[in-house]
Amino acid sequence: MLVNKRISPRALSPEEKENRKAGVYDSFANYLVFCPKCSHPIKTNMYIQSAESYIEKLNAQRKPCHVCGECEWTLGYPMGSKTGFVKF
């Protein structure tokens, strides 16, 4: 799987998480899935439902991060972005 190594991920803010729980999200945004311990992105440029489904699958399979070995994945954006669209 190819991932842009120049991406530094950030977790969704508490406000963004609350909005998501309420069904509010940017349908045009590009989300990413990453390890919250070491910030390694495993997959980028995903729509919200695809990213959430992928996280569920990785966590259910206890898929470890190949950088730090943790088995926890989370949803986020590239650092400095609220839409996932950034120029590298």
Question: Which residue, 71, 72, 87, is CA-closest to 30?
Answer: 87
pLDDT tens, per residue, the chain with 88 residues: 556 677 889 999 999 899 989 988 887 888 999 999 999 999 888 889 999 999 999 999 999 999 999 999 999 988 887 776 655 4
Is 81 exposed, middle or buried (CB count within 10 Å of its CB: 0-12, 13-18, 19+)? Answer: middle
pLDDT number for residue 88: 45
Yes or no: say if 74 and 11 are a contact pair by the CB < 8 Å rule: yes
pLDDT for position 2: 54
pTM of the model: 0.84
